[in-house]
Amino acid sequence: MSQLDELRKVTVVVADTGDIEAMKLYKPEDATTNPSLILSASALPQYAPLIEDAVTYAKAQSNDKVQQLVDAEDKLAVNIGLEILKLVPGRISTEVDARFSYDTEKTIAKARKLIALYNAAGISNDRILIKIASTWQGIRAAEVLEKEGINCNLTLLFSQAQARACAEAGVYLISPFVGRILDWYKANEGKEYAPAEDPGVISVTNIYNYYKQYGYKTVVMGASFRNVGEIVELAGCDRLTIAPPLLKALQESNETLVRKLEYSGEVKARPAPMTEAEFYWEHNQDPMAVEKLAEGIRKFAIDQEKLEAMLSAKL
């Protein structure tokens, strides 16, 4: 059996891509997208009809150019999600505009709109995750949405404070970023890390054990991998979302894979929920998390704007 086959025995494998061909090849359970992946996918020739459909839809909704652009980008994200849902048996994660990361009400409104577009296409809520940045405002939005039956994937997660607040808010799933944590430490510490000592691997391992220790149901899905070693060290994590090049490497490897994450201890009484002040204080104690969260939001916003420029030209 390949390492990928071995991994599937202990972890749900998710594709971190918008590439339809990769989905067909690696047959993941779920798939995740973000503004950067949507931007990349929109350059693929097979997606041209989806873009045209989004533009046609937007023009039919309104004569207002600003509103047309908003409607077109929402419809395109959902159109790509619908294509992916034809290939995966599980869920698609579709991301809210990163520029709403510090606005609870706008995040809630955008999530409801995306869900409505999926529902109108015949897709039920249990096949969708709404991706939201793990800011305090994003976590509060997710808390409201979860109570409405809209499951959320809290992304750009780098600190234990973010992870704890997400669990306490009852979010469905979190995406702690392994590779971006490693990037920061390599740049700031000037050294290389073996997979078992990788700061991103250690962070996700700690979050996984914390959730199991206190009986939180929130799913831990490691994301943003830089190498196969990181994935191997997190075998047993609830889910792992993996880009096609690393799925290929796992598929082509026959090395033994051993389960690393499995909690067998007792479940303890949970601590009192964090206050907003506690969240900011604890998150602020981790300079890596502060920098990478802000940087991640900025980068997603830049790619959202590039996507808008492409759609504006077509509108």
C-alpha–C-alpha distance, residues 89 and 23, integer Å: 11
Burial class (CB in 10 A: 0-12, 13-18, 19+), 18: buried
Sorted by sequence, the CB contacts under 8 Å of residue 314 that are 6+ apart come out as 51, 52, 55, 72
DSSP letters spanning 13-26: EEEE---HHHHHHH
Mark whether 131 is an active-site residue. Answer: yes
Sorted by sequence, the CB contacts under 8 Å of residue 56 that are 6+ apart come out as none
C-alpha–C-alpha distance, residues 17 and 224, integer Å: 11
Handedness of CA 241, 245, 248, 254 (dihedral sign): negative
Chain centre to alpha carbon of residue 175: 5
Number of Cα atoms under 13 Å in the Cβ half of residue 116: 8
The pair of structure tokens assigned to 169 is: 């808010």
Residue among 75, 110, 131, 292 flagged as catalytic = 131
C-alpha–C-alpha distance, residues 19 and 244, integer Å: 9
Residue positions annotated with a catalytic role: 131
